[in-house]
Each structure stands twice: as C-alpha cells, then as structure tokens.
C-alpha cells in the first residue's frame, strides 16, 4: 500500500516575507509610533527614503482657555515643544504639516506659524478638508505649501468672543491684530496685502459673515498656496528640498587648493583674518592666514595669499606670536 505524500504548496500570506534589503519594523517601533500618534497627533517616519516628521494640526487651535471636551483641538503647548525638538534633532531631515482646522486662537496660531516659518529644516504644509481663519497663516508658514483640490480656506477679519468694550481702543486693538496677520501672510506667500485685504473684507459671498471662501484651485490662483496637489506631491517636494539642502551642504565644504606656494582663500578662513587681509591689502604687504591646521604668512596678490612662511602648530603660533586682529 503506497501513500502519496503531497507537497504543501500553500502560499504564505502577503507580507509574511520581505525582501532582504527591506527593513522590517519591529513591534516595539510600531507601538511607539502608535502611542506617538495617539498622544500628540504626530509621527516620525524612519523606514523611508528620508526621515521626516509628520505633524497634524486639526480641529480648533486652543489658546489660553481650555475648550469643552467635545471639541477636537490642537493645543499649542504641545505643538511648540515638538517644533523645537524637531529643529534640534539631527536625525529628522524635514517636516510635513497636515492641516484640517477651522481656526481658533489668533495668538496661539501665530505663535505656531512663526516657529514653523523660522525653521531651517525643509518644511511642507498640506491643507486637507479645510484651512480656515488662523489656519491660513499656518498653511503659509511652511517653505512650500500644498492644498487638495477639494479643500477650502476661509479668509475673514479678526473677531473676539466674550466681553468687548465699545470704545475706540478696542477697534484700534483689532486693527493692530489684523495687521499682524496680514503682514505674516503676505511675507510668507505670494499674495499682496491689497488682494488679501480685499478677500478679507468681501461682503458679497458669506451670508452671516464678512470674508471669502476659496477652494484649492482659487487659493493657488490667489497666491495664498504654492501648489495644488495631494500627499504624494507634497512628500516628493519635501524629498527634493531635503536632497537640495544636502547637495548644497556638500558643495559648501570644499578642500583647500594648493599651487606651489599659493593658497586660494576659502570660507574656512576666519572672518577676522579675512577682514584684516582685505583692509591691509593695499598698505601692508605681509599678513597672516589662520585655519584649524595651519598658520600661513605671506602677501596677497589678486585675491591669493603667496605663502612666505608656514607654521605647522597654529595654536602654539597664536600663543607666542599673534592675537586676533593683529598681523606681523
């Protein structure tokens, strides 16, 4: 009696095996990302071409007063430390801001927008759903901004809840606050102050309010947003910005060029030494150039230092023969 042993040709579920060169995220990494999303609405994506941090600004921007628990809010005291940490973290290469907000506290929103606009790292914003009221400066604060075709943005004047005193000082305060918003938006986008104020004071569009509602295409045409697109376009733009920054950093570091006894001046030259050489170029034929590895003495001709003496130990040379701002 013979038994036919059939081979088990059952295919393994998709995702059970990964290519050797593709890293598989550990369970603890996924748990950490999930916890980060739940607590702060943000996540750092490491298993990609570049390490970017995704920050979401949703619901209402909460200011100095706590909103009711049924409101979905973004708390500025949570976002501000995150932005500082992102800017200081060398492992994070760029920041992606996802916006779907109805607006909120003016000063809290402007504080977040100012921090984003002052970051040196590449930043890209993407408006999904809506970027209304103070969400407009937040969308403009990134170096490049995107908006989905179905998203909308509402531009309207500043308003205040609670007790308002009917005195001229109140109107002056409103005017100054509105001027801060107009100046920030026009400085960080392509719209002019005149056009932005016209959209803000439009009385023929909203039934119960003053202002203008712009869809994605109109927001780009007005100059508020840079590009019309979605997530893939925004990430591609952020990658290009990161790679351009890396390429610029590499090209800025150039090796020293030696030609016989001639050294071409580079950015590694200390500022005080460069200033001293330029100031004395026509008066003193002898000057000193210092770097981390060498101290050179010579004459400047046509923007080049003709070396006459070299000192292999610049620290010792500094202590004995030279102090900043002097030449021999």
* DSSP-derived pairing of the beta strands 94-104 and 287-290: unpaired
Tell me the pLDDT tens digit for each residue of 22-79: 445 555 565 665 665 556 567 787 777 899 999 999 999 998 888 888 888 999 889 9
Give the integer Cα–Cα distance in Å for 123 and 17.
35
Closest CA to 152 of 170, 173, 141, 136: 136
Tell me the pLDDT tens digit for each residue of 144-189: 999 999 999 999 998 877 778 888 888 888 899 999 999 999 999 9
- Please provide the DSSP assignment of 180-220 as one string: HHHHHHHHSSS--HHHHHHHHT--SS-SSSSSEEEEHHHHH
Confidence band, pLDDT 50/70/90 cuts, at residue 258: very low
Give the integer Cα–Cα distance in Å for 322 and 328.
8
The more confidently predicted of residues 272 and 190 is 190
Q: Indicate where the chain has its CATH 3.90.226.10 domain(s).
A: 27-247
Which range is least confidently modeled, 101-105, 225-229, 232-236, 293-297? 293-297
Give the integer Cα–Cα distance in Å for 59 and 75.
10
- 27-247: CATH number: 3.90.226.10
Closest CA to 126 of 116, 107, 140: 140
Catalytic residue among 133, 141, 145, 189: 133
Give the integer Cα–Cα distance in Å for 304 and 123.
40
Catalytic residue among 53, 132, 156, 189: 156
Residue 192 has pLDDT above 60, yes or no: yes
Dihedral of alpha carbons 273, 276, 279, 282, sign: negative
To the query of whether residue 156 is one of the catalytic residues in this protein, the response is yes
Q: What is the mean pLDDT of the chain?
A: 77
Confidence band, pLDDT 50/70/90 cuts, at residue 15: very low
Q: What's this model's pTM, rounded to 2 decimal places?
A: 0.65
| Token reading at 234 | 């925004």
Residue 319 has pLDDT above 80, yes or no: no
- Residue-level pLDDT at 40: 59
- Residue-level pLDDT at 121: 95
The more confidently predicted of residues 267 and 29 is 29
Tell me the sheet residues that pair with 101. 59, 131
Residues 6+ apart with CB under 8 A from 74: 41, 56, 57, 58, 59, 60, 61, 62, 101, 104
């Amino acid at each position: 009696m013979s038994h036919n042993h059939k081979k088990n040709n059952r295919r393994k579920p998709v995702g059970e095996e990964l290519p050797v060169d593709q890293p598989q995220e550990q369970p603890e990494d996924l748990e950490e990302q999930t916890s980060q999303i739940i607590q702060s609405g943000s996540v750092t994506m490491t298993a990609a071409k570049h390490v970017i941090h995704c920050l979401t600004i949703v619901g209402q921007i909460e200011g100095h007063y706590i909103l009711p628990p049924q409101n979905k809010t973004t708390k500025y005291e949570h976002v501000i430390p995150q932005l500082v940490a992102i800017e200081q973290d060398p492992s994070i290469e760029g920041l992606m801001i996802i916006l779907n907000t109805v607006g909120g506290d003016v000063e809290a929103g402007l504080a977040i927008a100012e921090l984003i606009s002052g970051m040196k790292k590449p930043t890209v914003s993407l408006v999904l759903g809506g970027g209304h009221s103070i969400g407009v400066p937040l969308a403009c604060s990134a170096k490049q901004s995107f908006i989905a075709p179905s998203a909308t943005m509402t531009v309207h004047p500043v308003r205040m809840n609670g007790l308002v005193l009917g005195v001229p000082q109140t109107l002056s305060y409103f005017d100054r606050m509105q001027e801060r918003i107009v100046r920030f938006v026009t400085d960080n986008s392509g719209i002019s102050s005149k056009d932005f104020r016209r959209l803000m004071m439009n009385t023929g569009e909203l039934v119960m309010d003053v202002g203008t509602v712009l869809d994605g295409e109109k927001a780009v045409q007005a100059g508020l947003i840079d590009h019309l697109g979605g997530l893939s376009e925004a990430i591609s733009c952020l990658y290009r910005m990161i790679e351009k920054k890396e390429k610029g950093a590499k090209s800025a570091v150039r090796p020293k060029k030696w030609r016989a006894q001639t050294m071409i001046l580079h950015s590694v030259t200390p500022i005080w030494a460069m200033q001293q050489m330029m100031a004395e170029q026509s008066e003193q034929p002898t000057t000193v150039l210092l770097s981390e590895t060498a101290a050179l003495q010579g004459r400047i001709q046509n923007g080049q230092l003709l070396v006459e003496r070299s000192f292999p130990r610049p620290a010792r040379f500094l202590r004995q023969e030279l102090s900043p701002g002097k030449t021999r």
